Structure 1
């Protein structure tokens, strides 16, 4: 039975941290180790972590970053330091369902049986809940209208599909992991890596209660909210596309020697979209499949580019 590493990133998480740790302790799969990387908390987060370290010295270990990294780099640096064959990412404010570790691990083993010795990633669905864990939506992906089948490189260059607080990666992902200067999100970066060099699998069963509250970095968003937000902030969305292109450029610089010729060409085309004229940007997006999920999102892409 493999030891599953669990990476939790914390920052002023005192309100929900205990509930999250207890949900991990209640999981049916018990051979795991939890590493908590704190990013400079000023509340009682560190005291809570220290208490759990004393109570579970063989299972829980806390670390303090020497400087604030932000949630994205905190996760990536923590993953890079991991020694386990399989590692899961964990937010400080959710609740894991009892079979999360077991179900995700089983899905990973199925993926590795088909694609051995490759950087493989598994991600799952989640139930969206309010601050008090009342279920608001039974499926994050149905609510967000994201097509979990489209995790090939061209689609992932334009749109992230992975929900980071549900993912498990194998050791080949960690071995291949390079940390960029700029990126949109850590789960997106892992998705790009796995799409290029390995494989990605989706488990449709929800494995966590994905808590929505005022301090969320990323939250669940329905189609109407998505459309309203995009229409009201077109200039902002253009900058988001540029940031996404910058992420692709960073990926190219770090991995160009490992990419196939086709992958290099595709990523370069995406990274320099903003340098092309109005017509060619749209032609390239359609030609290579740099698209999102659904008609509404893709109309938005073609308008914004």
Structure 2
């Protein structure tokens, strides 16, 4: 049977230190019917030179596009999605890597499990030198994921925060089309904002293995301390998308009511204890929600 085409999208900005390893991890996949769509987001280092070396070697599979200026990850991701043609789609950051089984195992999961539109897996964390520094493997959460008719990860997205590493998601491209564009205004919570909306429309499964190497280093935007604040703002924005919020609540096992939204805010505020700025954003958002007319 012909393998279905998988599009891997990759935004790249001044990624010369790591992007060659990221691209090589796609080239080395067990699954062979892939395309890699890279958007250069105004890089000023050797990023484009490195990419072009691979484009010349794999001209039928690796494609490079350019933003006219540095516009942020969301704009680059949207540009890449626009050019992607595969039936399945996944996103790899230019400083991360896939295990060689990433695409094959997760496509196989979706081909065999028709009840799902998307699937995510576990990841390991590596440092700037590729040294293993930990792994994402929360025992209680994964235990709930494995239960029949599990409400995870919808519950976690609704009540706690991000429920998976975004680069571990592989999904039907139609789900990305239905979800729409990444939001440039979400900034350091670009992924969380997107997965909140994505989870409302897609049926998400879990593959119990490690398929992504997620890099942690000081140059990442998420390391500057603003990601949690923007995540709180992303949730506030989500509460105003009533149709999506109703669908997410239902998947998480809750009725779409005013009490559920308040409970979600309070749950997040408990988890934000000790994080003064995030707690302030959540508190103000809850106060605004309680005073708005026409809310659930």
- TM-score, with structure 1 as normaliser: 0.72
The CA deviation at 1:198 is 2.4
Which is further off, 46-55 or 35-44?
A: 46-55
The CA deviation at 1:298 is 7.0
* Equivalent residue for 1:208, pick from 191, 194, 212: 212
Partner of 1:29: 31
- Deviation sequence 1:86-125 (CA, Å, 0-9, x none): 01101111222111111121222234x124xxxx222211
Check the 8 A contact 1:80/1:174 in 2, yes or no: no
Given the superposition, is the C-alpha separation of residues 298 and 45 from structure 1 closer, same or farther in structure 2, using an over 3 Å criterion? closer
Check the 8 A contact 2:86/2:173 in 1, yes or no: yes
Q: Indicate whether 1:297 and 2:274 are aligned.
A: no
Check the 8 A contact 1:8/1:35 in 2, yes or no: yes
The CA distance in 1 between the partners of 2:266 and 2:76, in whole Å, is: 29
> What is the aligned residue count?
265
The CA distance in 2 between the partners of 1:267 and 1:181, in whole Å, is: 28
Partner of 2:262: 285
* Equivalent residue for 1:82, pick from 62, 84, 96: 84
Q: Indicate whether 1:123 and 2:127 are aligned.
A: no
The residue matched to 1:291 in structure 2 has which SS?
Answer: helix
Given the superposition, is the C-alpha separation of residues 76 and 174 from structure 1 closer, same or farther in structure 2, using an over 3 Å criterion? same
Partner of 2:197: 193
Check the 8 A contact 1:14/1:43 in 2, yes or no: yes
Partner of 1:171: 173
Check the 8 A contact 2:29/2:101 in 1, yes or no: yes
Check the 8 A contact 2:124/2:136 in 1, yes or no: yes
Q: Indicate whether 1:133 and 2:133 are aligned.
A: no
Q: How does 1:41-190 map to 2 (within 5 A)?
A: 41-111=43-113, 113-115=114-116, 120-137=117-134, 139-142=135-138, 149=145, 150-152=152-154, 155-156=157-158, 158-179=160-181, 180=183, 182-183=185-186, 185-190=189-194
Q: Indicate whether 1:17 and 2:19 are aligned.
A: yes
The CA deviation at 1:191 is 2.4
The CA distance in 1 between the partners of 2:228 and 2:222, in whole Å, is: 19
Given the superposition, is the C-alpha separation of residues 125 and 18 from structure 1 closer, same or farther in structure 2, using an over 3 Å criterion? same
Check the 8 A contact 1:182/1:246 in 2, yes or no: no
Given the superposition, is the C-alpha separation of residues 98 and 289 from structure 1 closer, same or farther in structure 2, using an over 3 Å criterion? same
- Deviation sequence 1:171-198 (CA, Å, 0-9, x none): 2212203234533634324422332222
- TM-score, with structure 2 as normaliser: 0.74
* Equivalent residue for 1:247, pick from 213, 237, 253: 237
The CA distance in 2 between the partners of 1:291 and 1:206, in whole Å, is: 29
The residue matched to 1:41 in structure 2 has which SS?
Answer: coil
Check the 8 A contact 2:37/2:83 in 1, yes or no: no
The CA distance in 2 between the partners of 1:203 and 1:154, in whole Å, is: 17
Unaligned runs of 5+ in 2: 146-151, 284-296
Check the 8 A contact 1:76/1:186 in 2, yes or no: no
Given the superposition, is the C-alpha separation of residues 212 and 125 from structure 1 closer, same or farther in structure 2, using an over 3 Å criterion? same
The CA distance in 1 between the partners of 2:26 and 2:227, in whole Å, is: 37
Given the superposition, is the C-alpha separation of residues 42 and 248 from structure 1 closer, same or farther in structure 2, using an over 3 Å criterion? same
Check the 8 A contact 1:11/1:41 in 2, yes or no: yes
- Deviation sequence 1:115-137 (CA, Å, 0-9, x none): 4xxxx222211111122212121
The CA distance in 2 between the partners of 1:95 and 1:267, in whole Å, is: 38
The CA distance in 1 between the partners of 2:123 and 2:229, in whole Å, is: 29
Partner of 2:292: none
The residue matched to 2:217 in structure 1 has which SS?
Answer: coil
The root-mean-square deviation of aligned C-alpha atoms, in Å, is: 3.8
